[in-house]
Amino acid sequence: MECRAFENWLVRTGYEEMPGLEKVFIENGMDIGFWGHEHSYERFYPVANRTVYINGKNPYYNAPAPTYIISGSAGCHTPKASFGPPNPASAFR
């Protein structure tokens, strides 16, 4: 997955004059975010401010950060749909 691609972290962190939404997600207690338009599936551990929370038996229970899930559909084999090296926050893909 192109997790490190500009357009995939833009929503969380922002860019130049456009603020990111990660602070708003955390302030409002967002637990999980579903994202689409990728042609594969990937679930992340809770992550915020470049910190990955993989603590205890269930890192999702009372996590201090949102969990992001990319839900895609199969069938399109474009270069951007390929899996590269896993992101450190990747739990399953």
**Farthest CA pair distance, the chain:** 39
pLDDT number for residue 1: 40
| Amino acid 82: pLDDT | 60
Cα–chain center distance at 88: 11
DSSP 60: T
**Does the pTM of the predicted model rise above 0.85?**
no
CA distance 66 to 47: 6
Query: Which of 78, 92, 88, 77 has its CA nearest to residue 43?
Result: 92
| H helices, E strands: number in the chain | 2, 8
pLDDT per residue over 19-63, tens digit each?
888 888 889 999 998 887 666 788 899 988 888 999 888 999 999
Which is more confident, 6 or 31? 31
pLDDT of 13 above 70:
yes
What is the model's pLDDT at position 73? Answer: 67
